[in-house]
Amino acid sequence: MTSVGPSCHGAAGNVAAPPGTPIVALAGAPNVGKSTLFNRLTGARRQVGNWPGTTVEVGRGVLTEGDDVAFELVDLPGAYSLDPLSPDEALTRALLVDVDPGERPDVVVVVGDADRLSRSLYLVRQLRETDQRMVVALTMGDLAQRHGLAVSTSTLAALIGVPVVMVDPRHGQVRQALMGELHRTLAGAPPVPVPAPTASDTFAAADERFAWIDSVVSASVVRTDGMRARWSDRIDRVALSPVMGPLLFLAAMWAVFQLTTTVAAPLQDALDWFFTGPVTSTAVAVLGAAGLDDTWVRGLVVDGLIAGVGMLLTFVPLMAIMFGLLALLEDSGYLARAAVVTDRLMRAIGLPGRAFLPLIVGFGCNVPAISATRILPNARHRILTALLVPFTSCSARLAVYVLVATIFFPEQAGTVVFLLYVISIVFVVVIGLALRSTLWRSVGSEPLVIDLPPYQRPTLRLTAAVTWLRLQGFLRTASGIIVATVAVVWLLQAIPVTGGYAFGEVPVQDSLYARTAEVIAPVFEPAGFGSWETTSALMVGFVAKEAVISSWAQTYSAEEPGVDQPPGTLGDSIRADFVESSGGHVNAAVWAFLVFLLAYTPCVATLAAQRREIGMRWTVFGVAMQLTVAWVAAVAIFQIGSRLW
Amino acid sequence: MTPSSQPARTVRDLRVGVAAVLGEPTVGLTQRLRLAELGIRAGETVHVVQRSVGGARVVSVRDSRIALDSATARQLPVIPGAGEP
């Protein structure tokens, strides 16, 4: 390889493509269905990760014919043109233009929107000024037809000088339509480049390209009726209305979280019964048969692996519902409207409307949300957004909210959870304002310029696929950490520090785990939850929020049950703990705990993402800020609340 | 708001449903190029489809709907009389 820059040929990673497999890159503007096409073409044989040496996420996969790998596919970041305004667009340009010709993809598939054709052709035109082999794949043909537009792919292909195919990755098969053109394009000679603009001035050159686009569109698109039925406009009269828009947004968010709590609860209960009942008793029977019943191995398996990992899996339905609902909002086109409605709010804290996207993704999981800050072209906006994302309440925290709210406020659990999300938004706004008025005084606001996609009826298959992908990603990120955390917690609980107990046979209150928590616990006494049990749960919650519950489960199952306390009643144990630590002001302590849980460091995976995106210095600053804000808020709530309740 | 008797000077002043022809945007260079890529450039006919939160405007340009914040809409001059009924 001669190029010093990135190359599609040089970073194959673990994708199972034999050496020499032709590389096909998918390029195109955001929201044209590029990634949907990539997912449809590659199926399960894909990987998504950062491009080596960059912070930009790129998907890679293979396109097969029978059992053979025909092409390796690279899903490039969305780009309107080859004039980059963000790191994502810069990578797309680097891989398509700036590298040596031999390092470029063998074929580029430019994915365009048939419903808004002129938008997609600027990138096509810029690539046509090179001899890059190219196929144009048009999506949204159904929408164009519904809007009275007939696109002649043959005319378009003749005018732009490369093949054009119509594809429908949301509903139909796309492989057959594309595969033949890819083979023909690869076998044929490179296209003769279109002459570059004669003007040296950037805008005069752009105008020449736009004039070319105008002539191409007017010749290849026929309007079949005079008036376009615009259902999207009619819906937007409400969704974007200055009064109804924010109300609808709040209603949508409330519905999402209400559905999450009410629908997920019975599924969680069923899974909880499965793990604490049949799985545990089976494991105990197997260990007993193997003669390991009274050894530390039983503790590791039952109180460590089953209690911890089982608890994580119990909350999979919760995550799946949240991811599914977010995918529905995304696929329907509503998320872009939500960015418009919240732009004023974002602007007040010095962030552009598009910063709403990482922040809303943060409500699903902070890790991809931190990665999503890369859509912001301004580095300071990226840092500020990445520092605010941890205050958005992720679904892992939701699992703990639901448990605690169900224990202490069973009749109002949904409302309690909703209020925590409102508090999360308040944190984002207040801390954003505070940072802007101190560290970021000089930062200007990014203008809101959002291309609104037409509303679409979400497809079950696409929603399910996106949900599954995100769920997989979540489990992949969380499971390793959770297993490691559970193992470490069990180990700390197994090491005796007093009483002369043997390893693995020590009561938890005499273990190194309890001793460590006891040292920290006084810090939380002013907040009403200064017990070692709660402190130890918060300690592992620093690693991953799901582990708060598994830590509680481990701690209380490891303890000798009290006289009136049946074994395995986690809720009763937690309640008794809060009653004692709060001096009777349980409600105040529970709210203080929930707000602390909301505001302090989400998980180590988020920290890893922050370090990757904004560097170690800002990550450390963020951790210190989160802990300070969380502690101050929790103490304030308990000190005020305990005088009222 | 511009009185109804006065012609609109920018996209921000346009009434919903009224078409107008864009003049040269007065935004910065990079934003001007991005707007142009989205179809918002001098000589293009636009009309406001929707007024939204905080003075934002949704404009129709060609076959697209673009949401613009209030400040950006103010930086998009429209040619008086051109396109307005």
Task: Identify the weakest region by mean pLDDT among A282-296, A348-362, A453-467, B29-43.
Answer: A348-362
pLDDT in tens, B59-71: 998 778 999 999 9
Which range is most confident: A83-92, A175-184, A315-324, A440-449?
A175-184
Asked if pLDDT for residue A547 goes beyond 60, the answer is: yes
**CB-nearest partner of B37 from A122, A237, A353:** A122
pLDDT in tens, A186-208: 999 999 999 988 888 877 888 89
| Percent of chain A predicted with pLDDT > 90 | 28
Among chain A residues, the shortest Cα distance to B38 is held by A119
β-sheet bridge partners, residue A614: none
Average pLDDT over residues A58-66: 81
Contacts with B, A 372-411, CB within 8 Å: none
**pLDDT band at residue A566 under the 50/70/90 scheme:** very low
Cβ burial, residue A149 (10 Å; 0-12/13-18/19+): buried
Residue B23's pLDDT is 92
Residue A436's pLDDT is 82
Residue A446's pLDDT is 66
Average pLDDT over residues A601-621: 83
Give the residue, A176 or A372, on which the prediction is more confident. Answer: A176
Contacts with B, A 217-236, CB within 8 Å: 228, 232-233, 236
Expressed in percent and rounded to 5, the helix, strand and coil fractions of chain B are: 25, 30, 45
Give the residue, A614 or B77, on which the prediction is more confident. Answer: B77
Residue in the structure block whose two tokens are 């800002």 = A618
Cα gap A480→A121, rounded to integer Å: 44
Q: Would you say A449 and B28 are in contact if contact means Cβ atoms under 8 Å apart?
A: no
Q: Order of strands, edge to edge, in the sheet holding B64-68?
A: A449-452, B64-68, B57-61, B45-51, B19-21
Give the residue, A597 or A476, on which the prediction is more confident. Answer: A597
- Average pLDDT of chain A? 82
**For chain B, which domains are there?**
11-74 (2.30.30.90)
pLDDT in tens, A260-282: 667 777 887 788 788 878 888 89
Please indicate whether, in this complex, the C-beta atoms of A340 and B53 are within 8 angstroms of each other.
yes
Question: How far, in Å, are A88, A273, A320 from residue A466 at the CA level?
Answer: 21, 29, 10
| Percent of chain A predicted with pLDDT > 70 | 86
β-sheet bridge partners, residue A112: A138
Task: Identify the weakest region by mean pLDDT among A25-34, A45-54, B11-20.
Answer: A45-54
**pLDDT band at residue A590 under the 50/70/90 scheme:** very high
Q: Which residues of A touch B64 (CB under 8 A)?
A: 116, 119, 451-452
Please indicate whether, in this complex, the C-beta atoms of B63 and A118 are within 8 angstroms of each other.
yes
Give the residue, A459 or A135, on which the prediction is more confident. Answer: A135
Please indicate whether, in this complex, the C-beta atoms of A450 and B66 are within 8 angstroms of each other.
yes
Q: Which residues of A touch B33 (CB under 8 A)?
A: 81, 83, 202-203, 206
Of A135, A136, A141, residue with least CA distance to A171: A141
Among chain A residues, the shortest Cα distance to B43 is held by A207
Helix (H, G, I), strand (E, B) or coil at A70: strand
Cα gap A83→A99, rounded to integer Å: 15
Of A353, A388, A312, A297, residue with least CA distance to A622: A388
Average pLDDT over residues A427-436: 90
For residue A175, what are its two tokens?
């492989």
Asked if pLDDT for residue A593 goes beyond 60, the answer is: yes
Average pLDDT over residues A346-363: 76
pLDDT in tens, A229-243: 478 888 999 999 999
**CB-nearest partner of B54 from A85, A233, A344:** A344
Cα gap A491→A299, rounded to integer Å: 10
Asked if pLDDT for residue A162 goes beyond 90, the answer is: yes
**pLDDT band at residue A560 under the 50/70/90 scheme:** very low
Q: How far is A620 from chain B (nearest CA, A)?
A: 33
Give the residue, A523 or A448, on which the prediction is more confident. Answer: A523
Which CATH architecture group holds A23-223? 3-Layer(aba) Sandwich (3.40)
Cα gap A315→A471, rounded to integer Å: 11
Q: Is A343 on the interface with B (CB under 8 A)?
A: yes
Phi, psi (degrees; rounded to nearest 5) at A367: -65, -55
Q: What is the 3-state secondary structure (H, E, C) of A545-591?
A: CHHHHHHHHHHHHHCCCCCCCCCCCHHHHHHHHHHHHCCCCHHHHHH
Please indicate whether, in this complex, the C-beta atoms of A80 and B49 are within 8 angstroms of each other.
no
Give the residue, B58 or A44, on which the prediction is more confident. Answer: B58
Please indicate whether, in this complex, the C-beta atoms of B66 and A447 are within 8 angstroms of each other.
no
Which range is most confident: A435-439, A476-480, A535-539?
A535-539
Q: What is the ipTM, given to two decimal places?
A: 0.90
Please indicate whether, in this complex, the C-beta atoms of B69 and A353 are within 8 angstroms of each other.
yes
Chain B residues with CB-CB distance to A under 8 A? Answer: 27, 29-39, 41, 49-54, 56, 58, 62-69, 71-72
Residue A413's pLDDT is 87
**pLDDT band at residue A568 under the 50/70/90 scheme:** very low
Please indicate whether, in this complex, the C-beta atoms of B52 and A147 are within 8 angstroms of each other.
no
What is the secondary structure of A227-281 as a DSSP string?
S---HHHHHHHHHT-TTHHHHHHHHHHHHHHHHHHHHHHHHHHHHHHHIIIIIHH
Asked if pLDDT for residue A57 goes beyond 70, the answer is: no
Size of interface A-B (CB pairs under 8 A): 113
Cα gap B57→B67, rounded to integer Å: 6
Among chain B residues, the shortest Cα distance to A337 is held by B67
Please indicate whether, in this complex, the C-beta atoms of A236 and B58 are within 8 angstroms of each other.
yes
Residue A308's pLDDT is 67
Task: Identify the weakest region by mean pLDDT among A279-283, A477-481, A532-536.
Answer: A477-481
Per-domain boundaries in chain A: 23-223, 245-440+462-644
Which residue of B26, B53, B57 is the best one to mutate when testing the A interface, meaning the one whose CB has the most A CBs within 10 A?
B53
**pLDDT band at residue A284 under the 50/70/90 scheme:** confident
